[in-house]
Structure 1
Amino acid sequence: MKKAIILAAGEGSRMKSSKSKVLHMLLFKPLIMHVFDSVKNAGFDEIITVLGTKNIDEAAPVLEAKGSKIVKQELGEGKPYGTGYAVKLAKDFIKEEDSLMVLYGDTPLIDSKVIEEFTKFHNEEKSDITVLSAILDDPKDYGRIVRENGEFSAIVEKKELNPNKTYTNEVNSGIYLFSGNAFLKTIDLINDNNLKKEYMITDTIKYAKEMGMKVSAYVTSDTDIILGVNDREDLYFCERALIKRENRKRMLSGVMIHNPDLTMISPDVKIEQDVEIFGECKIYGETVIESGTVIESSTLKNMKIGKDCHIINTVAEDSVVGNNVSYGPFSRIRPNSVIKDGVKVGNFVEVKNSTLGEGTKAGHLAYIGDADVGKGVNISCGVIFCNYDGKHKHRTVVGDNAFIGSNVNLVAPVEVSNNGFVAAGSTITKPVEEDELAIERSEQKNIKEWVKKKGLHKEDF
């Protein structure tokens, strides 16, 4: 089986936060879930996550819900530390015939394509251990890869670099692939006999070479995979890199993003070709947008949007929009709504837990809550679906081709039947039958000379 161990026990003190570092949001989902999803999407069968005493209660439920097995690492004075020790805690999950990848919960830019290429190289080389490396303009504090005749020789940490030697800028990413056999034969040999007094996973490489095992290094061209998160500034840089990567990927697949620096799209979102995105947009969750649709300056979460729609300055979540829908500007779709084909919704309209039938129009300034609205309905300016009595929500039903005039209040539970007509300014509490006109107003009364008698008459400004 293909298995992975994600190391995520670190305390994350540099984040200056009460929240676990690996649960901080990166492009709309927890940092560690970018790593988890990349591993899963690369075809790995089982993922084991090592969490620490300070973050296990918070992080374990998130990961277990996705199918990860959890291992606890005790942290604190007198406890063993180091990547090698953390990995060793998951040893019981690994068998000799398995292949194992080790990576980190705070390096979120590793993606499934790189993992697939890395795994392919490892298998083709028939390596026992393979190191994922990258070539950086500035190697900073990363360990250097040393090669002899082009083949991997060793990893030299920065503090151990010999000033009399020249090193390349190929660095160790800290991500490894092991055969199960190599892992199990070397992991118990490592110790903390070093300056940091930590159990280091890189020591497995030394022991593997002593045993005559093959160790290789695969160089990825995607240098972003090196970026890790230690503090909020790192989180910012990782997010900008991920935004750039995701938007480029979308554009190469046929999506036109006119303002990519202002557009944030989660990797989980599915967008078909010939979609156009303008302005400052946030699109995330399980959103799907079909071809020909135009999105302008909107926030979309868990939305299903059909073909050839125009969504402008809209906040929408957990709902479905059909084809050829025009929605906005400055409008909202709240959860559990269905906006069917050909609907036109204008500015300052809110729809919540409601269905709008084909061809229905709500041009401006309306609230449609807990309603089932039929086809071809006209909802005029200022209409309110009064759905809450102070204790309970109630539904309103409006039949096909009904007309709801301006400034109408529909007090639920109430029904307006097909072709019902509600006159402007009415408050409706009783059913309106088919083809009926409903008017609910007090009689207008005009009092002559009232303004003058009250001393309110003016001749000029």
Structure 2
Amino acid sequence: MSDRFVIILAAGKGTRMKSKLYKVMHKVSGKSMVDHVLTQVEAMKPKEIVTVVGHGAQEVEDLLQERTKYALQSEQLGTAHAVIQAEDILKDHSGTTLIISGDTPLFTEETLNNLFEYHEQQNAKATVLTAKAPNPFGYGRVIRNENGDVTNIVEQKDANEQEAAVDEINTGVYCFDNHELFTRLHEVGNDNAQGEYYLPDVVEIIRNTGGKVSAYQMEDFNESMGVNDRVALSNAEKVMRQRINEMHMRNGVTLIDPINTYIDYGVEIGSDTIVEPGVKIFGDTVIGEDCLIGSGSRIENSKIGNNIKIISSTIEDAVMKDGSNCGPNSHLRPNAEIGEDVHIGNFVEIKNTKIGDRTKVGHLTYIGDATLGTDINVGCGVVFVNYDGVQKFHSEIGSYTFLGSNSNIVNPVKIADHAFVAAGSTITEDIPYHAMGIARSRQVNKEEFWDRLAVSKSEEWNK
């Protein structure tokens, strides 16, 4: 096998996207299109990867960092012009160079590797990746002779009636002999309506000079889908979502309604976990085995252990350990760490807080900037008052404590193990071991208050 190289074309602005975000930076299933392409390319372990950048160059480089080298196309003058920007990096190498666009997020490592192998088996100077299109309108047609050799690639606008009827299309992905590529690139002209230098012209030049041109037809047309506008972006998202969901189901995850389940690329889910309809799982999320993720839940960048139940809740940048549960209608915000066998009930919000094993937070509670020990009971309506308008403060609650309903914990305080907070209290001072903190006004009953109220109302009504 010869050395392999890859050029990713990612310089276009993508005006049809009508977006401030550069085209290749738009995401499909949580991952930028150009990152999808690079990820599949990296899996083949080529000797060199070069990404041609232009519009949004800094944003692309910030995203991909040192995973690839870069060549700058400061002026966009066509695909052949883009490829020649990589000449200084690759021209002296011998081997095979794959050229692929950064706005084609659905290509797989398997397909690209098959293209490499076919090109090398054919001893070709150029190989075009093709596909059978259900509707080939708008694509360049691959014209073959009776021996199956490629004789021409005809663009839609230039195709005659017979050529337009061909359903084998050019996907825009090529393999070239590297030396042949950079030699012939200098022979490409721009005598066309757009005044640009087109990469398919290199294929024609190679064929006209006696070099062998072959074509490898891939099995799944959907992989070739390029994204030029929001409609195509949505279609790519649909294909990628189906691919991701099928992978999880084959790995032992139950998706009740895959069409209405949204899981980002790279999410990990353990076997025998059940995911109900309307669930969205994003980012760097790992979910363990034997979990139930209920309808309407949203989980993002979180670590979910085994045997966990989440019902109609939002979990973001948080951790839930084995056996815990959350919801319905609760919110774990960034840096919430929920211990084992913890109960988080309905309408609870937790932020920047560590909660120890077996603690129960039943309902209608806010806990922010705190550390709670094990086996604590947090009553209904408890609020941790953690912000004075300028800075946040932290409280520590010991194990086996009891926080009575409708109490306010005004950070920073320390409540020792086995302590109690009386219902309705506003706690501003530490509570020692085995003590109970009571901080509420003594009840006073005003006798015959109704009579005074009735007289006052009578006078108002008589006006």
TM above 0.5: yes
Deviation at 1:429, TM superposition (A): 1.5
Look up the equivalent residue of 1:425 and give its one-letter code.
Answer: G
Match of 1:109 among 106, 117, 124: 106
**Following the alignment from structure 2 to structure 1, what is the Cα–Cα distance between the partners of residues 165 and 221?**
18
Residue pair 2:143, 2:163 contacting (<8 A) in 1 also: no
Question: In 1, distance between residues paired with 2:455 and 2:382?
Answer: 32
What is the SS of the residue equivalent to 1:353?
strand
How far 1:166 sits from its partner (Å)?
A: 8.2
Query: For the Cα contact (< 8 Å) 2:284–2:302, is it kept in 1?
Result: yes
Equivalent residue for 1:342? 341
Cα 1:288–1:194 shift into 2, 3 Å: same
Deviation at residue 198 of structure 1 after TM alignment: 2.1
| 1:132 alignment counterpart | 129
Report the Cα offset of residue 354 of structure 1. Answer: 0.9
Report the CA distance shift for 1:215/1:13 in structure 2 as closer, same or farther (over 3 A): same
Within the alignment, does 1:429 sit opposite 2:428 as a pair? yes
User: Aligned Cα RMSD in Å?
Assistant: 2.2
* 1:33 corresponds to: 35
CA distance in 1 between partners of 2:164 and 2:82 (Å): 33
1:93 to 71, 89, 96: 89
**Residues 309-324 of structure 1 aligned to structure 2 (within 5 Å):** 309-324=308-323
CA distance in 2, matches of 1:305, 1:127: 50
* 1:452–1:262 Cα change, 3 Å: farther
One-letter code of the match for 1:353?
Answer: N
Aligned equivalents of 1:124 and 1:431: distance in 2? 77
Q: Which moved more, 1:151-160 or 1:284-293?
A: 151-160
Distance 1:164 1:39, change over 3 A: closer
- Distance change >3 Å, CA 68–CA 432, structure 1 → 2: same
Q: How many Å separate the matches in 1 of 2:344 and 2:422?
A: 21
* Alignment map for 1:21-420 (pairs within 5 Å): 21-52=23-54, 54-63=55-64, 65=65, 67-75=67-75, 81-94=77-90, 95-148=92-145, 149-164=147-162, 168-296=166-294, 297-420=296-419
Q: Is the 8 A contact 2:84 2:182 kept in 1?
A: no
Q: Counterparts of 1:369 and 1:456 in 2: how far apart (Å)?
A: 47
Instruction: Assess, with a 3 A threshold, how the Cα gap between structure 1 residues 307 and 227 changes in structure 2: closer, same or farther.
Output: same
Instruction: Give the distance between the partners of 1:396 and 1:93, measured in 2 at CA.
Output: 57
Q: How far off its partner does 1:381 sit?
A: 0.7
Q: Per-residue CA shift, 1:352-373, capped at 9, x if unaligned?
A: 1111111111011111111111
Is 113-122 or 334-343 further displaced after alignment? Answer: 113-122
User: How much has 1:193 moved relative to structure 2?
Assistant: 3.3
Distance in 1 separating the partners of 2:409 and 2:340? 24
Matched with 2:8 is: 6
Describe the shift of the 1:288–1:193 C-alpha distance in structure 2 as closer, same or farther (beyond 3 A). same
Q: Residues 234-292 of structure 1, C-alpha deviation per residue, up to 9 Å, x if partnerless?
A: 22222222222221222222221112222111112112222211121221111111111
Q: Which amino acid aligns with 2:241?
A: I
CA separation in 2, counterparts of 1:409 and 1:165? 77
State the SS of the aligned residue for 2:185: helix
**Residues 146, 167 of structure 1: 8 Å contact kept:** no
Structure 1 portions without partners, runs of 5+: none
SS at match of 1:273: coil
Q: What residue identity is the alignment partner of 2:40?
A: S
Alignment-mate amino acid for residue 20 of structure 2 = S
How much does 1:39 deviate?
1.9
Cα distance change on mapping 1:348 and 1:26 into 2, 3 Å: same
Q: Tell me which moved more, 320-329 or 155-164.
A: 155-164
Distance in 1, matches of 2:372 and 2:208, equals: 75
Kept in 2, the 8 Å contact 1:96–1:184? The answer is no
CA shift at 1:173, angstroms?
0.3
Secondary structure (helix, strand or coil) at the match of 1:370 reads: strand
CA–CA separation in structure 2 for the residues paired with 1:375 and 1:120: 59
Once the two structures are TM-superposed, the CA of residue 57 in structure 1 deviates from its matched residue by: 4.2
Distance 1:336 1:98, change over 3 A: farther
Partner deviation per Cα, 1:172-228 (whole Å, 9 max, x = no partner): 100112232332332222222345432111122233334544432221112112222
Cα distance between partner residues in 1 of 2:252 and 2:41: 26
Aligned length: 452
Greater Cα shift, 322-331 or 233-242: 233-242
Any conservation in 1 of the 2:141–2:163 contact (CA below 8 Å)?
A: no
Q: TM-score, normalised by structure 1?
A: 0.91
SS in structure 2 of the partner of residue 249 of structure 1: helix
Distance in 1, Cα, partners of 2:366 & 2:455: 36
* Structure 1 pair 159–276 and aligned structure 2 pair: CA distance change class (3 A): same
**Aligned AA for 2:244?**
E
Separation in 1, partners of 2:449, 2:355: 46
Distance 1:182 1:276, change over 3 A: farther
Is the CA contact (8 Å cut-off) linking 2:104 and 2:226 kept in structure 1? yes
Is the 8 Å Cα contact of residues 2 and 46 (structure 1) preserved in structure 2? yes
Distance in 2, Cα, partners of 1:442 & 1:102: 76
> How big is each residue's C-alpha offset from its partner over 1:378-434, in whole Å with a ceiling of 9 and x where there is no partner?
111111111112222111111111111111111111111111111111111221122
Alignment-mate amino acid for residue 284 of structure 2: E
Structure 2 CA distance for partners of 1:42 and 1:434, relative to 1, 3 Å: farther
Q: In 1, Cα distance between the equivalents of 2:134 and 2:450?
A: 82
Offset, 1:131:
1.6
Partners in 1 of 2:107 and 2:72 — Cα distance?
24
Whichever residue aligns with residue 256 of structure 1, its letter is: T
Matched-pair contact (CA < 8 Å) for 1:451–1:457: no
- Counterpart CA distance in 2 for 1:275 and 1:442 is 50
Counterpart CA distance in 2 for 1:24 and 1:165 is 34
Give the SS at the match of 1:454.
helix
Distance in 2 (CA, whole Å) between partners of 1:155 and 1:241 is 27
Looking at structure 1, the residues matched to 21 and 162 of structure 2 have their Cα atoms a distance apart, in angstroms, of: 45
State the alpha-carbon separation in 2 of the partners of residues 165 and 437 from structure 1: 88
